[in-house]
Amino acid sequence: MPVAAELAATDPDYVDSLERGLSVLRAFSAREEALSVADVASLVGITRTAARRFALTLEYLGYAGLSAEGYRLVPGVLAIGDAYLRSNPLPDAALPHLDELVQAVGETASLTVLHKRRVYYTARVAADRIVTANITVGTSVDAHGTATGRVLLGDLAPDELEDYLSAVEPGPGFDPDYVRERIGEARMRGWTVADQELTPGIRSVAVPLHDPEGRIVAALNIAAHATRVNIQVLESDFVPRLQSAAQRTAAALWPASGEAPGRSLMAPAAPTRPEVRPSDVIQSVERGLCILTAFDEGHPAMNLAQISERCRLPRSAARRFVLTLASLGYLEQQGRSYTPTPLVLELGYSLLSRLSLADVAKPRLEALARKLGASVSIGVLDGMDLRYVARASAPSPLIVNIRPGTRVPAERTALGQVLLSLLPPDALKDARSSAGRNAATNGLADLDATLATVREQGWSYVDQLLEAGIRAVAVPLRNRRGEVVAAISASVHEATIPDRDMTRNFLPPLRDAADEFITDLRDGLNI
């Protein structure tokens, strides 16, 4: 970053240690394997002593963990990228319409934005396909080689576009005249196609999303494997659907009434930190990352006074950190306020593609199991079966032999009853028919009545239905859009707790845990 380097040398307010700390975090983000202190020092170009302190700081903040192999990112780091996604209303507004696109055409749909020279994927609904592009929320790619990028570049002024093209490194895959032609085509038609240019075998088509002033603020696209979809289908079928989705997204963001719909305010994810603050923690990194994670639905843009208050910093210190983050491209000034940019997603959000729901859930499940003195599980539906995806147990003389991956009849578990109760009637009917469970189901005389009760009360209690002696209570787990993605339960042996105390003791903590999980259940997690 040449501009940042100049500022570091000439501006006394520039926080050089924050820049180096973010470089360390970016180094971890770019690697799947664990890094030693020596690796970090070599990748970032700093001393081993400094590398150790930066790694220790990230560990203290809950963004990295140390194992025998070295340091690597942990799920807590996703809170940094979440701040950008939570403060930007675009992804939430687009997601329902992306989902409708995927349901209609059976291919993956995405929302992208342009920042500097790259396209960032900020919302994505993947089709249930065996082969698809390896792209998740937070992925960034060069703009000129993608359909969405050419749509977005079409909003640049001619001199800005020429500056962009002149900055692209020449190579066999880059022809500036071809790119100009494709961008001009996108401007003229209002859509464009990229045929196996970013990824061999993948075709995509994109349309712009305009704000009320007519500026292009994002692009929507559908991507499909070339063997499934030809160019004609992209143009004749997918383009009208994309344009309709873009119009409906814009209407949700900027309704005619002038009042955008309210967004639910969720408590930000709080990475676990040690109670004792190590003396080697680098305060400038801690403060800079506090600023980045302070943005959310209720604070999409903040001025210096608001940032100072949210992070409990002196106004002068807040100004130095904000100006440094802005010069590095992580914050953007809008009048007297600042907002996070998509570049924030590069600080650890790449971890999302490598995480499962079980990875993210593990710390919360273990804490809840200790608190309740019970076994705590998360499960998802697989037809009429319940599949356990994560589990933690408090110490006990009795062991329940259920592990992640175990499948049991859903209707005999509290987890399964919660999930079945929330299925649409047709989906439940199809699942029961496919499983051959149309009449009395596994000893349940009236499953429909049981599920109706569970649906109305919002939880399920099962007493020794799956296994003699086992009692369990379960509630649904929802993401930020209110969609049910799994269920969580607490179970004990009957000798441990009386029947009358099950819901009284376990239901409130389970509901609290479900509320906390809302920020954890991100799009892109592998179930």
Q: How confident is the model at residue 432 (pLDDT cuts 50, 70, 90)?
A: confident
Average pLDDT over residues 38-62: 95
In this predicted structure, the answer to whether residue 409 has a pLDDT above a threshold of 80 is yes
Q: pLDDT per residue over 76-86, tens digit each?
A: 898 899 899 98
Name the least confident of 145-159, 220-234, 281-295, 513-527.
513-527
Answer yes or no: is pLDDT of 524 > 80: no
Between 419 and 361, residue with greater pLDDT: 419
The per-residue pLDDT for 435 is 66
Q: Domain 89-253's class?
A: alpha beta
What is the Cα Rg of the chain in Å? 25
Question: What is the reported pLDDT for 34?
Answer: 93
Beta bridge pairs of residue 444: 441
pLDDT higher at 308 or 449 = 308
pLDDT at 415: 93
Q: Are 6 and 324 in contact (CB under 8 A)?
A: no
Q: Which pLDDT value is given to residue 71?
A: 95
CATH fold, domain 2-74+271-353, is Arc Repressor Mutant, subunit A (1.10.10)
- DSSP, collapsed to helix, strand or coil, labels residue 193 as strand
Residue with the bigger pLDDT between 180 and 267: it is: 180
What are 255's two structure tokens? 């309704």
Task: Check: CB of residue 381 under 8 Å from CB of residue 416.
Answer: yes
pLDDT score recorded for residue 210:
96
pLDDT band at 112 (very low <50, low <70, confident <90, very high): very high
Question: In the sheet where 375-382 sits, what is the strand order?
Answer: 407-409, 385-393, 375-382, 484-493, 470-478, 460-463
pTM: 0.81
Residue type, 10: T
pLDDT class of 501 with cuts at 50, 70, 90: confident
- The position carrying tokens 């997204």 is 249
pLDDT attached to residue 362: 85
Give CA–CA dist 60/54, Å, rounded.
10
pLDDT band at 517 (very low <50, low <70, confident <90, very high): confident
Model confidence at 43: pLDDT above 90: yes
Q: What percent of the chain has pLDDT over 90?
A: 54
pLDDT in tens, 128-179: 776 666 788 889 999 998 999 999 999 999 999 999 998 888 877 788 999 9
Instruction: Give the amino acid at 83.
Output: A
pLDDT at residue 488 in the model = 94
Q: Is residue 395 exposed (0-12), middle (13-18) or buried (19+ Cβ within 10 Å)?
A: exposed
Task: Enumerate the CATH 1.10.10.10 domain ranges in the chain, comma separated.
Answer: 2-74+271-353
* Predicted local confidence at residue 406, as pLDDT: 87
Quick: pLDDT tens for 362-396.
888 898 999 988 889 999 988 888 999 889 887 76
Name 260's Cβ contacts closer than 8 Å, sequence gap at least 6.
89, 252, 253, 254
Residue 397 has pLDDT above 60, yes or no: no
Start-to-end C-alpha separation, the chain: 38
Note whether 159 and 148 are within 8 A (CB). no
Non-local (6+) Cβ contacts of 249 within 8 A are 90, 93, 94, 97, 111, 209, 220
Cβ atoms of 374 and 505 within 8 Å: the answer is no
Question: In the predicted model, what is the mean pLDDT of residues 239-264?
Answer: 83
What's the pLDDT score for residue 169?
84
Alpha-carbon gap, residue 289 to 354, rounded angstroms: 23
Ranges for all domains in the chain classified under CATH 3.30.450.40: 89-253, 355-517
In single-letter form, the type of residue at position 114 comes to L
pLDDT score recorded for residue 360: 81
CB 388 within 8 A of CB 377: yes
Q: Quick check: 439 pLDDT over 50?
A: no
The correct CATH number of 355-517 out of 2.60.40.650, 3.30.70.20, 3.30.70.1290, 3.30.450.40 is 3.30.450.40
Interval 202-209 mean pLDDT: 94
pLDDT number for residue 26: 94
Mean pLDDT, rounded, of the chain? 86
Collapse the DSSP code of 413 into the 3-class scheme (helix H, G, I; strand E, B; otherwise coil) and give the result: coil
88-97, 250-259, 295-304, 491-500: which has the minimum mean pLDDT? Answer: 491-500
Mean pLDDT calculated for residue range 220-248: 93
- What is the pLDDT, as a whole number, of residue 440? 47
The band of 464, judged by pLDDT with boundaries at 50, 70 and 90, is confident
